[in-house]
Amino acid sequence: MSNIYGDWLREQRLAAGMTQQELAIAAVMTRSHIAHIEGGRRIPSKEDARRLDRALNTGNVLSSFLPDEDAAVADYFEAALQLEQQATMIREFALSFVPGILQTERYARAVLSTSFPPVSEEECDRLVVTRLGRAKVLDDPVEPVVWALLDEAVLRRTVGGARTMAGQIMHIVRLVEAGRVRAHVLPFGLGVHPLMQGMLTLLRFEDQPPVAYSEGIQVGKVHDSPSMVDRLQGAYDLALGDAMPLKESLALMRATAKDYGHRD
């Protein structure tokens, strides 16, 4: 992923003889936020960019040449992957597939093996390892907090066969029963809901502004704009309010997994 903006910010900071902490104080930001911008993992808001310009005496360069905050990133999940590993709260909405951090190996392999253009078995293995590596964020028993909002289609559309689906659904059930994850189902009977256009991830951090990541066919976007993040959070909250309660969602998942088990 290109990082011309972050590299230029670092050069200006060093030219001014400032540490990241000193720049953070001058620009009324956090040091970690500065580090993420310089590392290409974040795009500052327009107000942040204006404060950086003032602190570094760079006119309006950082404000005028902000990267397009809604542009698809190269290797489109790369930026979101970095942010996912730093988040203290992850809220997922899945329209078609189980969220990546909740996927089992069999399910992940079934998903990744259907990509187009087709990938080699070796490349598929590499992608599966990367996918499963994301789940390590769940090794900590407390953080990040993880919520999963699942369209019922995620449970009903068979991926990798009945055995794979049964194992995948019960994996989520066990995570919920252990108190590590909350999962709610948006039932078919609900009809249209605010998140039907694609998948969505909402990320919160200890000392940085929240971001959102949305994904469609062969494209993903990291949304850093506060107004856009607020809109997406509002849509998520509306959909969550219409979802099945936790106990009912668990009952549906157990019943669906049992049904898949009978198909073997």
Query: What's the pLDDT tens digit per position in 171-191?
Result: 999 999 999 999 999 999 999
What pLDDT score does 75 carry? Answer: 56
pLDDT confidence of residue 74:
35
At 131 the pLDDT is 86
One-letter-per-residue 3-state SS of 20-70: HHHHHHHCCCCHHHHHHHHCCCCCCCHHHHHHHHHHHCCCCHHHHCCCCCC
pTM over 0.85: no
Burial class of 136 by CB neighbour count within 10 A (0 to 12, 13 to 18, 19+) = exposed
With a cut of 70, which residues of the chain have pLDDT below it? 1-2, 41, 67-76, 264
Q: What is the pLDDT of residue 264?
A: 63
Q: What local confidence, expressed as pLDDT, does residue 205 receive?
A: 92
Q: Considering just the CA atoms, what is the radius of gyration of the chain in Å?
A: 20
